Amino acid sequence: MPIDIDALTESELIDLNHRVVARLHFLAHVDAHATMLEFRIGERVTFHPDGRPPVTGMISRYNKKTSASSQTMDTAGMWRRSCCSARRPARSSSRTPAM
C-alpha cells in the first residue's frame, strides 16, 4: 500500500515518522523475545565478546523487559547479554561410556 508523502504536512510527516519508529522497535522486540524463548534457564551458551575469546557459561535468568539474559560464565563471572548474541556451544566429541 503506497503512501503519498508529498501530500502530507510537516506535522503529519512527524507523526508518521514516530509511528514507523515505534513499529520498528516493536518488531525488533518481538524478534528478540522469540530468540530468548529458544533458550532455557540453566542451558549452557557461548558468545564472543568484542576483542576477547569466546566465553561459555549458563543462563541464570531472563530480563523480559530488555529481552536479555544474565549468564553465569565459567571463567569471567556474570555477563548480561542479548539472547541474540548467545549460541549453543559445540558438543565435545569425548563422551563417557554409559554404565
Residue pair 32/83 in contact by the 8 Å Cβ criterion: yes
d(CA 37, CA 43): 12
- Nine-digit cell at 57? 557459561
85 found inside a domain: yes
- Nine-digit cell at 95? 563422551
pLDDT of 30-77, one tens digit each?
887 787 777 788 888 777 777 877 777 777 777 765 555 555 556 656
What lies within 8 Å, CB to CB, of 70 at 6+ separation is 59, 60, 61, 62, 63, 78, 79, 80
The CATH number that applies at residue 71 is: 2.30.30.30
Single-letter code of the amino acid located at 91: R
**Tally of domains in the chain:** 1
pLDDT at 89 over 50: yes
46 found inside a domain: yes
pLDDT at 8 over 80: yes
Strand partners for 72: 58, 78
What lies within 8 Å, CB to CB, of 33 at 6+ separation is 64, 67
Structural domain including 45 reads 40-89
